[in-house]
Amino acid sequence: MTNGAVTLGDVAARASHLSVECSRCDRRGRYQLARLITALGPDFRMTDLGAELANCPRRTAAVHERCDVYFPGLIATMDDDAGCSPAEA
């Protein structure tokens, strides 16, 4: 990791898939990290990925109505170094 920013490459080194959910609509899914890297590159920041993936109809809405995509399993995935990873939410 560089500068504390988690990138697609960091996550792909630990997991093959990424779970995605939106807190404002029913959107949820799983992305293959290999495909995301092919599309966006291994240095793409996870902090930018939410906006990239939030392509539901609300994407162009006002900020407070826009999709709020998050990655429910990401912290557990990146926390695996501790040796006792919590169950994926």
Binding of residue 56 to Zn ion (CB under 5 A): yes
Q: Which of residues 17-36 bind Zn ion (CB under 5 A)?
A: 22, 24-25, 27
State the number of binding residues for Zn ion (CB under 5 A).
6
Cβ pair 25, 58 in contact under 8 A: yes
* Residue placing its CB nearer to Zn ion in the complex, 17 or 24: 24
Indicate the burial class of 49 (C-beta count within 10 angstroms; 0-12, 13-18, 19 or more): buried
* Residue placing its CB nearer to Zn ion in the complex, 24 or 45: 24
Helix axes 33-40, 46-53, angle to 10 degrees: 90
Binding of residue 40 to Zn ion (CB under 5 A): no
